[in-house]
Structure 1
Amino acid sequence: MRLYYSSTDAWLAICEACEHAERSISLEEYILRDDAIGSRLLDILMARSRAGVRVRLLLDAFGSRRLQQQAVMSDLKTSGVKLVFFRPMNLVQRLLPPLSFPRDHAKALHIDGTTCFIGSMGVAQHMSGWRDTLVVLEGTVAGQALADFDRVWCREAFNLGYPPKACTYPSDHEPNQFIAQIPEYKTHGIREALLSQIASAQRAILIATPYFFPPQALRTALSAAHRRGVSVTLMLASQTDVPLADGVTRALIKQWRSLGFEVVFYQPEVLHAKYAIIDSSWATLGSCNFDFLSLVYNREVNVVLANQAHILEFVAQSKIDLDNCAQTPATSPIQSTWDTWMGKLGALVCQYV
């Protein structure tokens, strides 16, 4: 297992892996743009396809909507890359994006059926240098992840679906586990695993996420853990590329602190990593934000770390992250009255989901 801790390092690892692929490349992404960053990856995918490697590209129709209007679409087809957009949007959904859920928010790469990359990063120039996490795994867990990708690919590309039991779930027999949210089957493996671990937490819970709009079940579980003496720390982004989300984050700070949670803000760059660590003995990381969209609606993929050496490495990185945090956001942009009220409205809505 290998871990990367920035979007830039993650992209380099992904591009290198694709360049050396011999049989197959299967990439699932929420955001992929044909810019200075994305074009390099797209060029590699097309070159490997022309060299005889089977290349499949599964992109979210909302997150990667800009790509659909680019000239590279024709180049991808000509090179033999198989491209599918997850849940194409109709006119009404384009005008009212909330009607288009669930979305495919997963970020995963599968190489030659033997190696999988699972992380939190999109592929776009404006995300360069962000604090992201990418984990590289081989063996059984890579096979589990690829089987899950195949299931989604078959449904989206050919309108064929496998029954829910075709997906894998954590087991006590493997050191690290692949786990997925499956919105079409209303299966919420990541949420269930997280809630189970919170319920048995004894000392400390750390949740790192760009913004924190949890569903009621997670709010209740964290509050119960705090009442029995477990420390709860929320590490959030000082500022993201979603101004509305930032406004809601600021509007909710007082509420989380009133419940006894410690709330800190990552300073050096945008925190886009999503991970949870419980009692320094259990951790999960991947694409899943700890909000109601990711935990209830969207398709997400995560890895649960169970190997103690891997967890200790990840705990060490979390301490570095915490050392780079402060009690208040590093940036406090002057918000308009509209922005302020929208943030408060969003915070109010979050109380009822």
Structure 2
Amino acid sequence: MDNGDRWIGGNCIALLENGEEFFARVFDAIRQAKREVIIETFILFEDKVGLALHAAMRAAAQRGVKIDMLVDGFGSPDLSREFIEGLSSVGVRTRVFDHGKRILGQRLNVFRRMHRKIVVVDGELAFVGGINYSADHLLDFGPKAKQDYAVELRGPIVAQIHQFVLRAIALGDKGPRWFRRRLKQAPPADREAVGQVDAMFVTRDNRRHTGDIERQYLIAIRAARQRIVIANAYFFPGYRLIKELRRAARRGVDVRLILQGEPDMPIVKTAASMLYHHLMHSGVHIYEYCERPLHAKIALMDDRWTTVGSSNLDPLSLSLNLEANVIARDKAFNQLLWERMDRLMRESCKEIGPADLENEWSGWRLVRSFFIFHFLRWYPSWLGWLPRHVPRLTPAEAIALVEKREQRENDKKSGDNAVTPTEVA
């Protein structure tokens, strides 16, 4: 799939913070859809958010809107037959990326996940970000509610995103011929300028675009002269990105990292904190977000460059997962994101100082830094050795039918093996 890696002008962009803003806009867009809705997501749960999405898709499909949804087999493994059949019965086509069976109760399809979160409506409106369809993205979920972001887009950039998602679902249907026919039938996206924002849609895959998102980060960091702010949930980037952040701080750029202080997985904080000495020694400022788990994947450089998307800065996102980010050049949007991040740092974060670092024996820290340095330097190559297969998209209703058949066979075996009262006597 061709990213383009080029700036497209004439767009409008709006920041959506947390599920309260994101779900309201997405569900409203689905309700107003006239022709087509395409959704990609890593996680879809059957909680109040998933059921609300289910209802919105059913209602749209019943009035004739074509709806395609792609979910990841690892991130969304437990969708019920009733949930899937409720969609397929009204014509919603749900596909599962790399569905894998459980072995001894464990899911083994861990690597190379479809981690993107994209929605395209009528080829005219798009949403890209890091928010999944689950209740833990809402504040009323409690202390474990996630802090996260997405963007809403209109303008010429939507045409590129639309073609991308059409290609993605074509992989699981009838190939290029199907794609060409569907693309030809699709109404032309609004290519007229609707705003002043230059935007770029950048993806990461395991074939032609293995390092595109990381490369855009590196370009922006090298060009930065005033400030760099990165808020990222899972931070353990490669050697090159760490090196450029340190270089930026040494040349006087105000470099700030907002990382997890209350992580959903403890190992996340442990891994990131192993880099604190190395980064702070060069002048990088580190803030830990302490209110709730941080799920953000956003950054801003100087007064124009910003990115919002699904890509973390860790081995999975940078070397294995399928990801998607939007990069924007616009002073107003950059200023808005800076204001949100500045408020987050002042009101909800703790800045890490020398006293917060572990008081370790300097010799052990030197040894540990040596191994971390070489791991960061080489892990993209090492992870490239992991199994790489052709992505397979499976219709969700086919999976439901297989599971239903297996359940019947299990029930039958259980009945055959059951001990009757007569046999006991």
Classify the TM-score, shorter chain: 0.7 to 0.9
Q: CA offsets per residue over residues 251-285 of structure 1, 9 Å max, x none? A: 44344334432111123333212111111221111
- Taking structure 2 as the reference length, the TM-score comes to 0.70
Q: CA deviation at 1:159?
A: 5.0
For 1:144, the equivalent position in structure 2 comes to 160
8 Å contact 1:34–1:70 — kept in the other structure?
no
Larger deviation, residues 125-134 vs 285-294: 125-134
Q: What amino acid does structure 1 have at the position aligned with 2:335? A: L
Equivalent residue in structure 1 for 2:344, among 313, 321, 345 = 321
8 Å contact 1:231–1:261 — kept in the other structure?
yes
Unmatched runs of 5 consecutive residues or more in structure 2: 1-12, 140-145, 180-195, 354-367, 380-425
Q: CA deviation at 1:115?
A: 0.3
The aligned runs of 1:330-349 (5 Å cut-off) are none
Equivalent residue in structure 1 for 2:169, among 144, 153, 166 = 153
For 2:250, the equivalent position in structure 1 comes to 227
1:52 aligns with 2:76: no
For 1:118, the equivalent position in structure 2 comes to 128
Q: What amino acid does structure 1 have at the position aligned with 2:350? A: A
SS in 2 for 1:145: helix
Q: CA deviation at 1:95?
A: 4.6
Q: CA deviation at 1:154?
A: 0.9
The aligned runs of 1:204-243 (5 Å cut-off) are 204-243=227-266
Cα distance in 2 for residues equivalent to 1:18 and 1:350: 44
Equivalent residue in structure 1 for 2:286, among 253, 263, 268 = 263
Q: CA offsets per residue over residues 114-139 of structure 1, 9 Å max, x none? A: 00011111111223223211211111
Cα distance in 2 for residues equivalent to 1:92 and 1:181: 29
Cα distance in 2 for residues equivalent to 1:328 and 1:227: 18
For 1:336, the equivalent position in structure 2 comes to none
Question: CA 1:273 to 1:93, structure 2 compared with 1: closer, same or farther past 3 Å?
Answer: farther
For 2:42, the equivalent position in structure 1 comes to 30
Q: CA offsets per residue over residues 50-87 of structure 1, 9 Å max, x none? A: 211000001111111122x4521121111211111112
Give the paired residue count: 327
Alpha carbon RMSD of aligned pairs, Å? 2.8
Unmatched runs of 5 consecutive residues or more in structure 1: 163-172, 330-343
For 1:339, the equivalent position in structure 2 comes to none
8 Å contact 1:87–1:156 — kept in the other structure?
no
Q: CA deviation at 1:90?
A: 5.2
Equivalent residue in structure 2 for 1:74, among 85, 88, 99 = 85
- Taking structure 1 as the reference length, the TM-score comes to 0.84
Cα distance in 2 for residues equivalent to 1:154 and 1:205: 38
Q: CA deviation at 1:240?
A: 2.9
Q: CA deviation at 1:146?
A: 0.9
Larger deviation, residues 232-241 vs 16-25: 232-241
Cα distance in 2 for residues equivalent to 1:141 and 1:192: 20
Cα distance in 1 for residues equivalent to 2:273 and 2:247: 23
Question: CA 1:328 to 1:202, structure 2 compared with 1: closer, same or farther past 3 Å?
Answer: closer
SS in 1 for 2:89: helix
Cα distance in 2 for residues equivalent to 1:244 and 1:94: 23
